């Protein structure tokens, strides 16, 4: 990286001028740092037990499920009827959401996530 050049605006503000290559390098380093910090936060959440990991033996079940909702409902040992009753929707509505044919309203997804002890993001995949 070359030494940056400084200039002063008419209002007295000091500005730094970089070459395009130096700017791109700095931008890339910033993005890498942000990624590393995000990974560190994720590892800390895992270590603290705030994230439920899917055991290797269940990964194929997760990938084969039509939606993450279907996987988590089965993993929790709930029937569609039981989950539908718990969140106040019909079994048909739940089946449509679980199959991916319907998106589901935010409030319903939030209630399903709470009932299944996962986050809405985990239901959406």
Contacts for 74 with CB less than 8 Å, ≥ 6 apart:
61, 65
Beta strand pairing status for 14-17 and 5-8?
antiparallel
CA nearest to 94, candidates 62, 123, 53:
123
Model pTM score: 0.67
pLDDT tens per residue, range 27-85? 999 999 999 999 999 999 889 988 888 999 999 999 999 999 999 999 999 999 999 99
**Cα 103 to Cα 50, 69, 79, 81, 100, distances in angstroms:** 26, 11, 19, 18, 7
Q: Confidence band (pLDDT; 50, 70, 90) for 124?
A: confident
pLDDT of residue 23: 92
Is the pLDDT at 1 greater than 80? The verdict is no
Burial of 24-61, coded b for 16+ CB within 10 Å and e otherwise, reads: eeeeeeeeeeeeeeeeeeeeeeeeeeeeeeeeeeeeee
């Amino acid at each position: 990286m070359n030494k940056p050049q400084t200039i002063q605006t008419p209002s007295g503000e000091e500005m730094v001028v970089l070459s395009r290559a130096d700017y791109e390098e700095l931008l890339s380093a910033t993005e890498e740092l942000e990624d590393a910090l995000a990974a560190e936060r994720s590892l800390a959440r895992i270590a603290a037990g705030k994230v439920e990991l899917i055991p290797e033996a269940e990964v194929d079940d997760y990938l084969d499920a039509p939606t993450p909702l279907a996987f988590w409902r089965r993993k929790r040992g709930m029937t569609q009827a039981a989950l539908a009753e718990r969140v106040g929707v019909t079994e048909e509505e739940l089946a449509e959401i679980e199959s991916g044919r319907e998106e589901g309203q935010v409030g319903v997804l939030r209630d399903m996530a709470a009932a299944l002890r996962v986050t809405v993001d985990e239901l959406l995949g």
